[in-house]
Amino acid sequence: MDRRQALKNIGLSFGAVTMSSTLIGALQSCQSKTGWIPQFLSPQEADTLAQIMDVILPSSEALPGASDLNLIQFADTYLSLTKSPEEKASIQQGIKSFMEVTLADNQKNNWKSITENELQAQLSKYLKASDTKREQWWEAIHQAEKEAQASGVFPSLAAEPLAYVLVSEVRELTVNAYKNSEYIGENVLVYVPVPGKHVGIVDLQETTQGISWSNLSD
């Protein structure tokens, strides 16, 4: 099963983040904006995704977290610029499903009452699920993909598999945006302004102590 293609066919893929100059500019500008208003997400949806991102990449004494770099602003801009209306509707349904399942699992009916520990546990449910459970979710996704191919429209999907996809895609988007942010690119990853020099095939442990190269350039 081509899982990435399956997600694309049912409008649930955030897609691999290819950092065009427009997106890089959007990411850098996010780090200085105040009074931000989402372009695509509703305030509640943006707040929910921001909470998920903060659990995935929390702040620490050593490094800034997702909220410190305003990654939710980039996520909103990225989705607004790159997704079709049908894909946007599927993403919003994914956020709704994640919230519904989280509330049901914790026997609550108000999102504001969900604690940080409960949110962490919910993300662990999806990101640390057993192979058997993940295969069950993927089978549901694959079945929805076949229905989409037959009908030509994005199908409905049960809340739990949809929430699983949402969390997985948000994690990927968060990590990509984090690694491409100006602060991380220049202060954490190995950064060499362009023009640099070509060294050829080298041992990453010897040259950078295992730290990835930054994608940023001047």
**pLDDT tens digits, residue range 91-128?**
999 999 999 999 999 999 999 999 999 999 999 999 99
Interatomic CA distance for residues 65 and 67, integer angstroms: 6
**pLDDT tens digits, residue range 145-154?**
888 888 777 7
Task: Write down the residue that tokens 């994005």 correspond to.
Answer: 154
210: its two tokens: 């295992």
Closest alpha carbon to 99 in 49, 57, 133, 56: 49
pLDDT higher than threshold 60 for residue 214 = no
Helices (H), the chain: 3-9, 21-30, 43-56, 71-82, 85-105, 116-127, 131-151, 159-180, 182-187, 204-208
**pLDDT tens digits, residue range 21-71?**
566 566 556 555 567 889 899 999 999 999 999 999 998 888 888 988 888
Q: How much is the pLDDT for 190?
A: 46
Q: How much is the pLDDT for 95?
A: 95
Q: How much is the pLDDT for 16?
A: 62
Query: What are the sequence ranges of the domains in the chain?
Result: 3-187, 191-218
CB atoms within 10 A of CB 139: 12
Largest CA distance in the chain: 58
pTM for the model stands at 0.77
Interatomic CA distance for residues 153 and 89, integer angstroms: 12
- SS3 string, 131-164, reads HHHHHHHHHHHHHHHHHHHHHCCCCCCCHHHHHH
Q: To the nearest whole number, what is the mean pLDDT of the chain?
A: 80
